[in-house]
Protein backbone atom coordinates (compact mmCIF):
# COMPACT_ATOMS: atom_id res chain seq x y z
CA UNK A 1 0.00 0.00 0.00
CA UNK A 2 1.23 3.43 -0.91
CA UNK A 3 -1.08 5.15 1.48
CA UNK A 4 -2.39 7.33 -1.31
CA UNK A 5 -5.94 6.07 -1.30
CA UNK A 6 -8.45 6.44 1.51
CA UNK A 7 -9.25 3.24 3.36
CA UNK A 8 -12.82 1.97 3.33
CA UNK A 9 -12.73 -0.26 6.35
CA UNK A 10 -15.16 0.51 9.14
CA UNK A 11 -12.41 1.84 11.35
CA UNK A 12 -9.75 2.85 11.94
CA UNK A 13 -10.73 5.76 9.78
CA UNK A 14 -8.78 8.12 7.59
CA UNK A 15 -7.17 10.56 10.01
CA UNK A 16 -7.51 14.24 9.09
CA UNK A 17 -4.29 16.23 9.04
CA UNK A 18 -5.51 18.40 11.88
CA UNK A 19 -5.72 15.37 14.12
CA UNK A 20 -2.40 13.93 12.97
CA UNK A 21 -0.82 17.23 13.88
CA UNK A 22 -2.60 17.27 17.23
CA UNK A 23 -1.27 13.82 18.11
CA UNK A 24 2.24 14.60 16.94
CA UNK A 25 3.39 16.22 20.16
CA UNK A 26 6.51 15.77 22.21
CA UNK A 27 6.34 14.06 25.60
CA UNK A 28 5.52 16.18 28.57
CA UNK A 29 5.19 15.51 32.26
CA UNK A 30 1.81 13.96 33.07
CA UNK A 31 2.24 14.92 36.71
CA UNK A 32 2.67 18.61 35.84
CA UNK A 33 -0.21 21.08 36.01
CA UNK A 34 -0.63 21.41 32.26
CA UNK A 35 -1.67 17.80 31.90
CA UNK A 36 -4.65 18.50 34.09
CA UNK A 37 -5.44 21.63 32.14
CA UNK A 38 -5.81 19.69 28.94
CA UNK A 39 -7.21 16.47 30.34
CA UNK A 40 -10.09 17.57 32.54
CA UNK A 41 -11.80 19.78 29.95
CA UNK A 42 -11.51 16.96 27.42
CA UNK A 43 -13.32 14.60 29.76
CA UNK A 44 -16.03 17.21 30.21
CA UNK A 45 -16.41 17.81 26.50
CA UNK A 46 -16.58 14.13 25.60
CA UNK A 47 -19.79 14.09 27.63
CA UNK A 48 -21.31 16.32 24.97
CA UNK A 49 -20.54 13.70 22.38
CA UNK A 50 -22.19 10.99 24.48
CA UNK A 51 -25.03 13.43 25.25
CA UNK A 52 -24.71 12.71 28.93
CA UNK A 53 -24.89 15.22 31.75
CA UNK A 54 -24.12 13.33 34.96
CA UNK A 55 -21.85 10.36 35.45
CA UNK A 56 -18.28 10.17 34.31
CA UNK A 57 -16.26 9.72 31.17
CA UNK A 58 -13.40 7.30 31.67
CA UNK A 59 -10.58 6.80 29.21
CA UNK A 60 -8.36 3.74 29.15
CA UNK A 61 -5.27 3.31 27.02
CA UNK A 62 -6.73 0.28 25.25
CA UNK A 63 -8.93 -0.67 22.33
CA UNK A 64 -12.71 -0.95 22.40
CA UNK A 65 -12.41 -4.53 23.62
CA UNK A 66 -10.82 -3.14 26.76
CA UNK A 67 -13.85 -0.90 27.12
CA UNK A 68 -16.17 -3.92 26.98
CA UNK A 69 -14.09 -5.61 29.65
CA UNK A 70 -14.12 -2.52 31.84
CA UNK A 71 -17.88 -2.20 31.47
CA UNK A 72 -18.67 -5.58 32.93
CA UNK A 73 -15.83 -6.05 35.41
CA UNK A 74 -16.57 -2.73 37.10
CA UNK A 75 -20.29 -3.30 37.53
CA UNK A 76 -20.87 -7.02 37.83
CA UNK A 77 -19.73 -10.04 39.77
CA UNK A 78 -18.91 -13.54 38.59
CA UNK A 79 -22.13 -15.50 38.10
CA UNK A 80 -24.22 -12.41 37.44
CA UNK A 81 -26.67 -12.82 34.61
CA UNK A 82 -26.57 -10.55 31.58
CA UNK A 83 -28.92 -10.56 28.63
CA UNK A 84 -27.49 -10.15 25.14
CA UNK A 85 -28.66 -10.72 21.59
CA UNK A 86 -26.17 -12.12 19.10
CA UNK A 87 -26.65 -10.73 15.58
CA UNK A 88 -23.12 -10.21 14.36
CA UNK A 89 -19.46 -10.59 15.09
CA UNK A 90 -19.16 -7.78 17.58
CA UNK A 91 -22.15 -8.75 19.67
CA UNK A 92 -20.71 -12.27 19.53
CA UNK A 93 -17.35 -11.11 20.87
CA UNK A 94 -18.85 -9.18 23.72
CA UNK A 95 -20.77 -12.30 24.68
CA UNK A 96 -17.54 -14.30 24.60
CA UNK A 97 -15.84 -11.74 26.81
CA UNK A 98 -18.66 -11.89 29.35
CA UNK A 99 -18.47 -15.65 29.48
CA UNK A 100 -14.74 -15.54 30.06
CA UNK A 101 -15.28 -13.13 32.92
CA UNK A 102 -17.50 -15.71 34.55
CA UNK A 103 -20.83 -14.07 33.84
CA UNK A 104 -23.97 -16.05 33.13
CA UNK A 105 -24.90 -14.89 29.66
CA UNK A 106 -28.44 -15.33 28.45
CA UNK A 107 -28.18 -15.17 24.70
CA UNK A 108 -30.90 -14.35 22.23
CA UNK A 109 -29.80 -15.76 18.92
CA UNK A 110 -30.88 -13.57 15.99
CA UNK A 111 -30.26 -13.67 12.29
CA UNK A 112 -27.18 -11.74 11.21
CA UNK A 113 -28.56 -8.71 9.46
CA UNK A 114 -31.23 -8.14 12.05
CA UNK A 115 -30.98 -5.72 14.94
CA UNK A 116 -31.32 -5.87 18.70
CA UNK A 117 -34.78 -7.41 19.25
CA UNK A 118 -36.52 -5.04 21.61
CA UNK A 119 -39.59 -7.29 21.78
CA UNK A 120 -37.59 -10.35 22.75
CA UNK A 121 -35.69 -8.35 25.32
CA UNK A 122 -39.06 -7.28 26.70
CA UNK A 123 -40.19 -10.92 26.97
CA UNK A 124 -37.05 -12.06 28.74
CA UNK A 125 -37.13 -9.18 31.14
CA UNK A 126 -40.78 -9.70 31.88
CA UNK A 127 -39.93 -13.31 32.66
CA UNK A 128 -37.42 -12.19 35.25
CA UNK A 129 -39.43 -10.60 38.04
CA UNK A 130 -36.68 -11.44 40.57
CA UNK A 131 -34.32 -9.23 38.68
CA UNK A 132 -31.66 -11.89 38.13
CA UNK A 133 -30.67 -10.15 34.93
CA UNK A 134 -28.24 -7.49 36.02
CA UNK A 135 -27.50 -5.94 32.68
CA UNK A 136 -28.70 -5.84 29.10
CA UNK A 137 -25.88 -5.49 26.56
CA UNK A 138 -26.56 -4.04 23.13
CA UNK A 139 -24.31 -3.37 20.18
CA UNK A 140 -25.59 -0.09 18.76
CA UNK A 141 -23.94 -0.48 15.39
CA UNK A 142 -23.08 -4.03 14.42
CA UNK A 143 -20.00 -3.42 12.31
CA UNK A 144 -20.07 -6.89 10.80
CA UNK A 145 -23.47 -6.49 9.20
CA UNK A 146 -23.97 -2.76 8.89
CA UNK A 147 -26.96 -2.77 11.19
CA UNK A 148 -27.96 -0.05 13.59
CA UNK A 149 -30.15 -1.02 16.50
CA UNK A 150 -32.81 1.06 18.15
CA UNK A 151 -31.43 1.76 21.60
CA UNK A 152 -34.40 3.89 22.59
CA UNK A 153 -36.60 0.90 21.74
CA UNK A 154 -34.54 -1.38 23.97
CA UNK A 155 -34.85 1.08 26.81
CA UNK A 156 -38.59 1.25 26.25
CA UNK A 157 -38.76 -2.53 26.45
CA UNK A 158 -36.83 -2.45 29.70
CA UNK A 159 -39.05 0.23 31.12
CA UNK A 160 -42.13 -1.69 30.07
CA UNK A 161 -41.26 -4.45 32.54
CA UNK A 162 -39.95 -1.93 35.01
CA UNK A 163 -36.75 -3.90 35.11
CA UNK A 164 -33.80 -2.60 37.09
CA UNK A 165 -31.11 -4.08 34.84
CA UNK A 166 -28.40 -1.78 33.62
CA UNK A 167 -28.28 -0.96 29.91
CA UNK A 168 -24.80 -1.24 28.42
CA UNK A 169 -24.24 -0.13 24.83
CA UNK A 170 -21.32 -0.71 22.50
CA UNK A 171 -21.25 2.45 20.42
CA UNK A 172 -17.67 1.96 19.24
CA UNK A 173 -18.56 2.29 15.58
CA UNK A 174 -21.43 4.74 15.95
CA UNK A 175 -20.46 7.47 18.41
CA UNK A 176 -19.60 10.69 16.67
CA UNK A 177 -21.16 9.39 13.44
CA UNK A 178 -24.78 8.53 14.19
CA UNK A 179 -27.05 9.95 16.79
CA UNK A 180 -26.43 8.63 20.27
CA UNK A 181 -28.23 9.89 23.37
CA UNK A 182 -26.89 8.51 26.60
CA UNK A 183 -29.23 10.39 28.89
CA UNK A 184 -32.37 10.40 26.82
CA UNK A 185 -32.16 6.71 25.97
CA UNK A 186 -31.32 5.76 29.52
CA UNK A 187 -28.03 4.17 28.64
CA UNK A 188 -26.07 3.30 31.78
CA UNK A 189 -22.73 2.61 30.23
CA UNK A 190 -21.50 3.24 26.71
CA UNK A 191 -18.25 2.05 25.19
CA UNK A 192 -16.51 3.94 22.39
CA UNK A 193 -13.03 3.98 20.90
CA UNK A 194 -10.63 6.57 19.57
CA UNK A 195 -10.25 5.15 16.06
CA UNK A 196 -13.82 5.46 14.74
CA UNK A 197 -15.94 8.59 14.95
CA UNK A 198 -13.15 10.37 16.78
CA UNK A 199 -10.90 9.76 13.75
CA UNK A 200 -7.80 9.18 15.88
CA UNK A 201 -5.16 6.52 16.21
CA UNK A 202 -6.29 3.34 17.92
CA UNK A 203 -5.40 3.37 21.58
CA UNK A 204 -8.20 4.71 23.75
CA UNK A 205 -11.29 2.99 25.05
CA UNK A 206 -13.64 5.84 25.88
CA UNK A 207 -16.35 4.90 28.29
CA UNK A 208 -19.38 6.92 29.36
CA UNK A 209 -20.66 5.77 32.74
CA UNK A 210 -23.94 6.90 34.26
CA UNK A 211 -24.34 7.55 37.96
CA UNK A 212 -26.40 4.38 38.20
CA UNK A 213 -23.58 2.32 36.71
CA UNK A 214 -21.08 4.03 39.00
CA UNK A 215 -23.22 3.00 41.96
CA UNK A 216 -22.63 -0.65 41.03
CA UNK A 217 -18.86 -0.17 41.18
CA UNK A 218 -18.26 -0.95 44.80
CA UNK A 219 -20.25 -4.15 44.95
CA UNK A 220 -18.85 -5.51 41.69
CA UNK A 221 -16.56 -8.41 42.46
CA UNK A 222 -15.04 -9.16 39.08
CA UNK A 223 -11.29 -8.89 39.56
CA UNK A 224 -9.78 -5.88 37.86
CA UNK A 225 -6.92 -3.51 38.19
CA UNK A 226 -5.77 -1.99 34.90
CA UNK A 227 -9.41 -1.40 34.03
CA UNK A 228 -10.60 -0.45 37.49
CA UNK A 229 -12.92 2.55 37.41
CA UNK A 230 -12.09 3.33 41.03
CA UNK A 231 -8.39 3.96 40.50
CA UNK A 232 -9.14 5.94 37.40
CA UNK A 233 -11.79 8.12 39.00
CA UNK A 234 -9.70 8.74 42.10
CA UNK A 235 -6.77 9.84 39.96
CA UNK A 236 -8.87 11.83 37.47
CA UNK A 237 -10.50 13.74 40.28
CA UNK A 238 -7.09 15.20 41.06
CA UNK A 239 -6.35 15.77 37.39
CA UNK A 240 -4.10 12.74 37.31
CA UNK A 241 -3.99 9.27 35.92
CA UNK A 242 -3.39 6.00 37.79
CA UNK A 243 -0.53 5.07 35.44
CA UNK A 244 1.14 6.70 32.46
CA UNK A 245 -1.57 8.31 30.31
CA UNK A 246 -1.67 8.17 26.50
CA UNK A 247 -0.72 11.80 26.23
CA UNK A 248 -0.61 12.17 22.47
CA UNK A 249 -4.02 10.59 22.10
CA UNK A 250 -5.44 12.92 24.70
CA UNK A 251 -4.15 15.88 22.72
CA UNK A 252 -5.72 14.30 19.66
CA UNK A 253 -9.01 13.85 21.48
CA UNK A 254 -9.02 17.53 22.38
CA UNK A 255 -8.76 18.40 18.69
CA UNK A 256 -11.22 15.72 17.63
CA UNK A 257 -13.91 16.86 20.02
CA UNK A 258 -13.29 20.42 18.86
CA UNK A 259 -13.81 19.35 15.24
CA UNK A 260 -17.02 17.51 16.03
CA UNK A 261 -18.45 20.33 18.09
CA UNK A 262 -17.39 23.01 15.61
CA UNK A 263 -19.22 21.18 12.85
CA UNK A 264 -22.12 20.42 15.18
CA UNK A 265 -23.25 16.90 15.99
CA UNK A 266 -26.37 17.18 13.88
CA UNK A 267 -24.29 18.20 10.89
CA UNK A 268 -21.89 15.34 11.58
CA UNK A 269 -24.77 12.87 11.59
CA UNK A 270 -26.32 14.37 8.46
CA UNK A 271 -22.97 14.16 6.69
CA UNK A 272 -22.62 10.49 7.59
CA UNK A 273 -26.15 9.76 6.44
CA UNK A 274 -25.62 11.53 3.14
CA UNK A 275 -22.37 9.76 2.33
CA UNK A 276 -23.84 6.41 3.37
CA UNK A 277 -26.94 6.96 1.29
CA UNK A 278 -24.76 7.56 -1.78
CA UNK A 279 -23.11 4.22 -1.16
CA UNK A 280 -26.50 2.57 -0.84
CA UNK A 281 -27.61 4.11 -4.12
CA UNK A 282 -24.53 2.58 -5.72
CA UNK A 283 -25.27 -0.82 -4.22
CA UNK A 284 -28.77 -0.66 -5.64
CA UNK A 285 -27.43 0.35 -9.04
CA UNK A 286 -25.14 -2.65 -8.99
CA UNK A 287 -28.11 -4.86 -8.21
CA UNK A 288 -26.52 -6.07 -5.01
CA UNK A 289 -28.09 -6.46 -1.59
CA UNK A 290 -27.18 -5.15 1.81
CA UNK A 291 -26.89 -7.51 4.74
CA UNK A 292 -29.05 -5.21 6.80
CA UNK A 293 -32.54 -6.65 6.61
CA UNK A 294 -34.48 -3.45 6.19
CA UNK A 295 -33.95 0.20 5.49
CA UNK A 296 -34.65 1.28 9.07
CA UNK A 297 -31.61 -0.76 10.14
CA UNK A 298 -29.12 0.73 7.72
CA UNK A 299 -25.94 1.84 9.35
CA UNK A 300 -24.51 5.17 8.30
CA UNK A 301 -20.97 4.11 9.14
CA UNK A 302 -20.63 0.81 7.30
CA UNK A 303 -22.46 -1.04 4.58
CA UNK A 304 -22.10 -4.81 4.42
CA UNK A 305 -22.90 -5.99 0.91
CA UNK A 306 -23.66 -9.53 -0.20
CA UNK A 307 -21.76 -10.65 -3.27
CA UNK A 308 -23.68 -12.68 -5.83
CA UNK A 309 -24.16 -16.36 -5.10
CA UNK A 310 -21.14 -18.39 -6.17
CA UNK A 311 -18.64 -15.57 -5.73
CA UNK A 312 -16.26 -15.13 -2.84
CA UNK A 313 -16.12 -11.74 -1.21
CA UNK A 314 -12.63 -12.37 0.10
CA UNK A 315 -11.38 -12.76 -3.46
CA UNK A 316 -12.94 -9.38 -4.20
CA UNK A 317 -11.36 -7.48 -1.33
CA UNK A 318 -8.03 -9.20 -1.99
CA UNK A 319 -8.14 -8.26 -5.64
CA UNK A 320 -9.07 -4.66 -4.89
CA UNK A 321 -6.20 -4.46 -2.46
CA UNK A 322 -3.57 -5.95 -4.71
CA UNK A 323 -4.66 -4.42 -7.97
CA UNK A 324 -6.04 -1.04 -6.96
CA UNK A 325 -4.33 -0.48 -3.64
CA UNK A 326 -7.55 0.04 -1.74
CA UNK A 327 -8.87 -1.63 1.39
CA UNK A 328 -12.45 -2.61 2.09
CA UNK A 329 -13.76 -4.56 5.03
CA UNK A 330 -13.91 -8.33 4.64
CA UNK A 331 -16.91 -10.38 5.63
CA UNK A 332 -16.62 -11.47 9.24
CA UNK A 333 -17.97 -14.59 10.93
CA UNK A 334 -21.10 -15.82 9.20
CA UNK A 335 -20.51 -13.25 6.49
CA UNK A 336 -17.02 -14.51 5.67
CA UNK A 337 -16.75 -14.96 1.92
CA UNK A 338 -20.33 -13.86 1.44
CA UNK A 339 -20.14 -10.12 1.95
CA UNK A 340 -17.70 -7.27 1.81
CA UNK A 341 -18.01 -4.07 3.70
CA UNK A 342 -17.57 -0.43 2.79
CA UNK A 343 -16.68 1.70 5.76
CA UNK A 344 -17.94 5.25 5.35
CA UNK A 345 -17.28 6.88 8.65
CA UNK A 346 -15.09 9.63 9.92
CA UNK A 347 -13.22 11.98 7.70
CA UNK A 348 -14.59 11.39 4.20
CA UNK A 349 -15.76 13.54 1.34
CA UNK A 350 -18.02 12.91 -1.65
CA UNK A 351 -14.98 12.45 -3.83
CA UNK A 352 -13.30 10.06 -1.46
CA UNK A 353 -16.40 7.86 -1.34
CA UNK A 354 -16.75 8.02 -5.12
CA UNK A 355 -13.15 6.89 -5.48
CA UNK A 356 -13.93 3.87 -3.33
CA UNK A 357 -17.00 3.03 -5.38
CA UNK A 358 -14.99 3.41 -8.58
CA UNK A 359 -12.32 1.14 -7.18
CA UNK A 360 -14.60 -1.65 -6.07
CA UNK A 361 -16.43 -1.45 -9.40
CA UNK A 362 -13.20 -2.14 -11.25
CA UNK A 363 -12.44 -5.02 -8.95
CA UNK A 364 -15.93 -6.46 -9.37
CA UNK A 365 -15.70 -6.14 -13.13
CA UNK A 366 -12.32 -7.86 -13.09
CA UNK A 367 -13.92 -10.76 -11.26
CA UNK A 368 -16.87 -10.96 -13.65
CA UNK A 369 -19.50 -9.53 -11.38
CA UNK A 370 -22.55 -8.66 -13.43
CA UNK A 371 -22.18 -4.94 -12.97
CA UNK A 372 -21.62 -2.05 -15.31
CA UNK A 373 -18.55 0.14 -14.83
CA UNK A 374 -19.53 3.59 -13.63
CA UNK A 375 -23.04 2.59 -12.71
CA UNK A 376 -22.65 2.72 -8.97
CA UNK A 377 -20.56 5.84 -9.23
CA UNK A 378 -23.25 7.51 -11.33
CA UNK A 379 -25.97 6.62 -8.87
CA UNK A 380 -23.96 8.03 -6.00
CA UNK A 381 -23.03 11.12 -8.04
CA UNK A 382 -26.69 11.77 -8.75
CA UNK A 383 -27.49 11.59 -5.08
CA UNK A 384 -24.54 13.69 -3.98
CA UNK A 385 -25.32 16.40 -6.55
CA UNK A 386 -28.90 16.59 -5.43
CA UNK A 387 -27.94 16.88 -1.80
CA UNK A 388 -24.74 18.90 -2.00
CA UNK A 389 -24.74 21.78 0.45
CA UNK A 390 -25.48 25.04 -1.25
CA UNK A 391 -25.82 23.41 -4.65
CA UNK A 392 -28.34 25.67 -6.30
CA UNK A 393 -27.50 24.41 -9.77
Closer residue to a second copy in complex, CB, 225/295: 225
CA distance 193 to 67: 8
**Binding to a second copy, residues 213-232 (CB under 8 A):** 222-228
Q: Shortest gap between Cβ of 224 and a second copy (angstroms)?
A: 7
Q: Shortest gap between Cβ of 103 and a second copy (angstroms)?
A: 10
**Binding to a second copy, residues 243-282 (CB under 8 A):** 243-249
* 238-241 long-range Cβ contacts below 8 angstroms, 24+ apart: 238/36, 239/33, 239/35, 239/36, 239/39, 239/40, 240/30, 240/31, 240/35, 240/36, 241/30, 241/35, 241/39
Among 42, 46, 49, 62, binds a second copy (CB under 8 A): 62
CA distance 135 to 210: 13
Among 36, 45, 63, 104, binds a second copy (CB under 8 A): 63
Among 321, 333, 336, 337, binds a second copy (CB under 8 A): 321
Q: Shortest gap between Cβ of 318 and a second copy (angstroms)?
A: 9
Site map for a second copy, 97-116, x if CB under 8 A?
x--xxx--------------
* Residue 45 phi, psi (nearest 5): -75, -25
Size of the site for a second copy (CB under 8 A): 107
CA distance 211 to 359: 47
311 binds a second copy (CB under 8 A): no
Q: Which stretch binds a second copy (CB under 8 A): 151-159, 197-205, 264-272, 291-299?
A: 197-205
234 binds a second copy (CB under 8 A): no
**43 exposure class (CB count in 10 Å sphere: 0-12, 13-18, 19+):** middle
352 binds a second copy (CB under 8 A): yes
* Residue 293 phi, psi (nearest 5): -70, -25
Closer residue to a second copy in complex, CB, 91/101: 101
Contacts of 25 (CB under 8 A, 6+ apart): 247, 248, 251
310 binds a second copy (CB under 8 A): no
Measuring CA to CA, how many Å separate 367 from each of 9, 134, 316, 360? Answer: 21, 50, 7, 11
Q: Shortest gap between Cβ of 133 and a second copy (angstroms)?
A: 20
**Binding to a second copy, residues 21-50 (CB under 8 A):** 21, 23-34
Q: Which stretch binds a second copy (CB under 8 A): 146-154, 265-273, 296-304, 366-374?
A: 366-374
Q: Shortest gap between Cβ of 158 and a second copy (angstroms)?
A: 26
Closer residue to a second copy in complex, CB, 188/228: 228
User: Is 274 marked as a binding-site residue?
Assistant: no
391 binds a second copy (CB under 8 A): yes
Is residue 344 a contact partner of residue 296, using CB atoms and an 8 Å limit? no
Query: What's the DSSP call for residue 11?
Result: S
State the virtual CA torsion across 192, 193, 196, 197 in degrees, nearest 10.
Answer: 50
Is the N-terminal amide bond of 12 cis, ω within 30° of 0?
yes
Numbered residues of the known binding site for substrate: 341
Amino acid sequence: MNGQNPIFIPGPTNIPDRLRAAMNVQSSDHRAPDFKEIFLPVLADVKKIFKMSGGEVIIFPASGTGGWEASVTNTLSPGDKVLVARYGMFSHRWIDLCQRQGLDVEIIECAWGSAAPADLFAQRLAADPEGRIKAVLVTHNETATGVRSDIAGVRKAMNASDHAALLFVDCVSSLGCMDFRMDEWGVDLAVAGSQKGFMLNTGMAIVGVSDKALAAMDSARCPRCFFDFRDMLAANQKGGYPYTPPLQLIHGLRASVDMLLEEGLDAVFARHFRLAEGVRQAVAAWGLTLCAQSADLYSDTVSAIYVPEGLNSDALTDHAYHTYDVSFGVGLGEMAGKAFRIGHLGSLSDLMVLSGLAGIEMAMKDLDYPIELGSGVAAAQAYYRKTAAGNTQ
